Amino acid sequence: MLTRHLLSTLTLLVTVALAPLATAAAPLFPQAPGMVSYTYRDLLKKDLTGTLDTIRALGITDMEFSNLFGKTAAEIRSALDARGMVCSSFGVSYAEALQQTDVVAANAKALGAKFIRVAWVPNRQPFTLAHAELTATEFNRIGKELREKHGLTFCYHIHGYEFVPHGDGTLFDVLLAKTNPDYLSIELDILWAFFPGQDPAALLEKYGPRIKLMHVKDLRKGIVGDASGKTAVENDVALGTGQLDLPKILRAAKKAGVQHYYIEDESPSIATQVPQSLAYLKSL
């Protein structure tokens, strides 16, 4: 009985001692990320199916399409289905979302997407309080129609120009305060949050339930950002080689319940940088 008691005690002690090591060894980002079509925009224009094969060979099956590349939504869906891939989000222009909501919804459904997102509100830069209030009104209108009529979720992809200081916060805070959470969710592009001086992890902690989608990117070291929403495409670098604290951001995103993560690399170096980014995510 004494021997069995000692063995039981030793087993418990070893289990407790090894628990921190097991936790430390657990991968931070175990899943495969999705891919934004804009990363492969030039190749998809020339050869959509061949480029999908390239993306699929990287282990990526989740796509966010921002363009139909001269095809119909049904044709793209067929190509995705043939490769065991899906389109979870469909990006459109602001004018399309506002003025052709039914067409946009039909294309999203044909693609199989559950999210429709807009990434830029034209002619409202620099962003003002009046712009924020008008945009919120229009976002509510778009989001209400997409949800109530079509069962789709409307997302706004932040682009950095929204973080103009206002009161105790920014105009981004105004935008979210004046929009119905049922009608507007957020796609957090972490580069465009960091560029004007925001902390993407803090935004995830503050607005977690509203942030459904995320673009995973990194910004070249030495680049100083601003609220323009613009920087040279060459400033997109492989994950883990730039300025962003990606482990901190990904931990916050996991806690916030982000549903889809997409790699977006706007640079001309995707042949080397995308595999490097995927390897980095696996290493965390």
Return d(Cα 8, Cα 3) in angstroms, integer.
9
Return d(Cα 178, Cα 140) in angstroms, integer.
9
- pLDDT at residue 276 tops 80: yes
The three-point CA angle 176-242-35 to 5° equals 60
- Domain range list for the chain: 31-283
The three-point CA angle 213-215-221 to 5° equals 150
CATH topology of domain 31-283: TIM Barrel (3.20.20)
**Position of tokens 């040279």?**
232
**In the predicted model, what is the mean pLDDT of residues 142-171?**
98
- pLDDT at residue 129 tops 90: yes
- pTM confidence score: 0.91
- pLDDT at residue 19 tops 90: no
Confidence of residue 4 (pLDDT cuts 50, 70, 90): low
Q: Which residues pair with 92 in a beta bridge?
A: 118
- pLDDT at residue 77 tops 60: yes
Copy the structure tokens of residue 106.
Answer: 């039909």
